[in-house]
Structure 1
């Protein structure tokens, strides 16, 4: 317990020296001893810096020199707030921190009260709720994922706190002939939302289901029936609020890419209202199962009269955090990793028939995009004749990066007619990254991360990542098991490679996409990411920020 402070103590603490009026001469030795005691008490019992400021963002993005992937600060039950801070003014809203002795929650387990927030006790605007939850279901081609986001309204606009994430497989497009089963497949995700979101807030929690490339590839009638079944199930069985015509839809590809760009740059603090002027944004390259997206903010030379972004659907003007960003975006449908595999296999099978290999079920065909000594039973889907059959693809002794790359280059359609120059691939206009984004950071998401991370987990520290990293790994992987054992000793990685003979194809395609498609230099440095401080990267947070920024309709 602190001793009662004397008048002399207060004067010493204020830098005024001791009060000598009516007192005996103050000896310097006593002064020194007293000062040491006071400093010691202040040091022991005084506040610590970590009690007063929020913990910094710790991104799980792999950068040069990282020794491991960090997903966030250690969590645990925090002490309850001693005294909630007052509502900030417009001038100091960028300095919001948790109340003294309260940790910044990173999940429901570390949140002292999920229906409240440690950042303030009253919302910035009286008509806003203090805490807002929002649900976004990403209905992708290989699975459906729910993102349960918590926001607080201590600032002029909703501020993200943390996320709960859950996934289920397969995706909605796998239920082509059974819309009801498709809708029921989301129950495991929505049940998690019921568990996480406080009951008192559920009726005002908006929910959206946005399907991506998987449903785009289905017929119009089939996809519409699945979406309608999902909408009915949400209305009939769950307490959350549907907001309107755009809440259960197939999302436009351009929105998918732009929302992923918003998510990454928001979490990396390059587009917030408190971001320093002149901060360069990240380019975001997202590789999904059925499509791939590229979004970046090109910079043009104002001295060149024709140096500007061409008009068209690729141009996306975005106002966020009080600033306007003119983005280039494009979504390449059919160039996601799973679709690229199908295209390569079809081409290899076609080339085999041209060499005299019989076509049909149970045929073995040499495939240079499978690692040497491996094989894979592949279903060939001939869309022209509406036929399907199984073919055994074998790497034998022909699997190699160079041979596979020649096949992948044909799939990339780099020589397609380019009506508006310059083009990336498949005849699509794109400003040159070399000229308009020469030194900006490039962040690779989704399958880029999934395929590279198992190799990087065996290296400590992680070396700088370049476009050429994909080629180097592909060369080693395509050579087969002797090469794997020579280069990597991880049993888990060996099992992954043995179970996925197409890893050779995947790495080769990723390198071709970056090097040939987007024309990035081999030495161009890149970063890969899956999460930032426990929050999934991708389009979902960006789309949710747009949803909670609008007027929320509560369910009656």
Structure 2
């Protein structure tokens, strides 16, 4: 559904008013204050609310825009961001309880947005890999309960405001968000994006090499119109290969086996480790291997099989510039490869060296997270063996660009505002 909307609306999708203000005129001026003080209200202030229902948590993004004098561009002032854990998919057996987590975040929007603006403020929720991985009846039950929460809210609830976001659309919207925020939505100046969530991982970039366009499977390429030009993106979402889902794959874990109290073992853990981990409402018992064999090499040998034969590799990416976020960023921060506030640039080799250090000296890192060795090893293998990046390829690790989250959600609210204007 979203892909059809994107294809139909992209040529004007950021022209938010009939007078016509193209994307190039948008500007991120500053971040919103960290407090929840209600901003001064004026007729030129516009708000938008997007819920990102991911596999590990539900996040709310409250965006504030303003328009100056008539005919002036619409400007993005910033966002308020908050999250709760676990994600909606953890409430597969208790959909009403899952919807309550959404309701709790919605109160934040009511506290922040002036009541005079509520009926004008679009409210949407898009679920990602967590719900994609659930049986259809369970996913739909959760969405039904969320729709009830939305219908009782004071905000503007557009048609199809609560749905599952297609993985391809997730990649497209994230690519546009990052390139908009970095001012690179212009041909060969664009950057690619790598998103590593809990349940899936995405890669999206604008191919410039003819060989990429000629040799890439058609389902990895998607086209849309923007600024009277056609953009053809390389984008793919690998469902089941997000960081948390990959842990289960490496362990060979299943829900049925977990319910039978089976212990899942790996050389990515210290031999004496015996612990429990809950993901998507299921508790898994995991432990080290009793043979005492630990370290990066045996861990890598367990990780590699879950990636082999599942990825298309585009040679062009080796010389392309990519932004990486979500768990790429989190694990880099956890191991002090980058600073939490500022992010930074890392090569694939930087991840590999840190994975080796953590796995070969587990006793120093286990207290932080028993999964740190496995996670870093998986990220290393994903970049090397999955996507095919070279050791010296540099990635820009970031959580925010100009104080706005690097997420598909900004692209989604742009699209929603566009749709509302043209439907009105």
Structure 2 distance, partners of 1:219, 1:543, is 25
Shift of 1:113: 4.3
CA-CA distance at 1:269 after TM superposition:
0.7
- Tell me what 1:67 maps to: none
1:293 lines up with 2:202 in the alignment: yes
Structure number with greater CO (CA < 8 Å, separation at least 6) is 2
Distance 1:90 1:549 in 2: 11
Q: Which residue of 1 aligns with 2:156?
A: 241
The farther-off stretch of 160-169 and 311-320 is 311-320
2:140 pairs with 1:224: yes
Larger % of helix: which? 2
**Aligned to 1:196, which of 112, 120, 123?**
112
Tell me, yes or no, if the aligned pair for 1:370 and 1:395 is still in contact at 8 Å: no
- Give the secondary structure class of the aligned counterpart of 2:143: helix
**Quick one: structure 1 residues 157 and 342, their matched pair in 2 at CA, closer, same or farther if it must change by over 3 Å?**
farther
Change (3 A) 1:521 1:222: same
User: 2:379 aligned with 1:473, yes or no?
Assistant: no
Does the alignment pair 1:407 with 2:407? no
Residue 134 (str. 1) matches residue 60 (str. 2): no
Q: Is the 8 A contact 1:371 1:479 kept in 2?
A: no
Cα deviation, residue 188, structure 1: 1.8
Cα distance between partner residues in 2 of 1:211 and 1:312: 25
User: Which residue in 2 is equivalent to 1:312?
Assistant: 218
Deviation of 1:471 (Å): 1.0
What is the alpha-carbon distance in structure 2 between the residues aligned to residue 363 and residue 462 of structure 1?
37
Distance change in 2, residues 1:412/1:92 (3 Å) = closer
Gaps of 5+ in 2: 1-18, 255-259
What's the CA shift for 1:225? 1.4
Residue number in structure 1 paired with 2:13: none
What's the counterpart of residue 230 of structure 2? 324
Distance 2:213 2:362 in 1: 50
**CA 1:462–1:389: 2 relative to 1, 3 Å:** closer
The alpha carbon displacement at 1:441 in A equals 1.1
- Distance in 2, Cα, partners of 1:509 & 1:241: 42
Matching of residue 337 in structure 1 with residue 243 in structure 2: yes
Shift of 1:178: 1.9
> Quick one: distance in 1 between partners of 2:58 and 2:279?
25
> Normalised by the size of structure 1, how large is the TM-score?
0.64
- Contact persistence 1:153–1:159 (CA under 8 A): yes
Q: What aligned pairs does 1:387-426 form with structure 2 within 5 A after superposition?
A: 390-394=285-289, 397-414=292-309, 426=310
Cross-structure match for 2:16: none
Q: Tell me: CA distance 1:368–1:140, structure 2 relative to 1, closer, same or farther (3 Å).
A: same
SS of match in other structure, 1:254: helix
- Alpha-carbon distance in 2 for matches of 1:225, 1:537: 29
Does residue 1:447 correspond to 2:327, yes or no?
Answer: yes
CA drift at 1:325 = 2.0
Gaps of 5+ in 1: 1-88, 117-128, 272-276, 349-359, 382-386, 415-425, 485-493
Structure 1 or 2, whichever has the larger Rg, is 1
Q: CA RMSD in A?
A: 3.6
Q: Is this contact kept in 1: 2:250–2:302, CA < 8 A?
A: yes
Q: Is the 8 A contact 1:241 1:554 kept in 2?
A: no
Preserved CA contact (<8 Å) 2:38 2:111: no
1:107 aligns with 2:33: yes
- Count of aligned residue pairs for this structure pair: 397
Whether contact under 8 Å (1:291, 1:331) holds in the other structure is yes
Q: Distance in 1 between matches of 2:21 and 2:94?
A: 55
Q: Tell me the alpha carbon deviations over residues 319-370 of structure 1, each in whole angstroms, 9 at most, x when there is no partner.
A: 345543210110000000011000111179xxxxxxxxxxx746584x2112
The answer to whether the Cα contact below 8 Å between 1:202 and 1:239 also exists between their aligned partners in 2 is yes
CA distance in 2 between counterparts of 1:214 and 1:401 reads 29
Is the partner of 2:398 in helix, strand or coil? strand
Q: How does 1:365-514 map to 2 (within 5 A)?
A: 365=265, 367-371=266-270, 374-377=273-276, 390-394=285-289, 397-414=292-309, 426=310, 428-430=311-313, 432=314, 434=315, 436-456=316-336, 465-481=346-362, 484=364, 497-514=366-383
**Structure 1 residues 187, 395: CA separation in 2 closer, same or farther (over 3 Å shift)?**
farther
1:215 Cα offset (Å): 0.9
Give the counterpart of 1:144 among 58, 63, 68: 58
SS state of the match for residue 406, structure 1?
helix
Structure 1 residue 284, shift from structure 2 partner: 0.4
Give, in angstroms, the shift of residue 534 of structure 1: 1.9
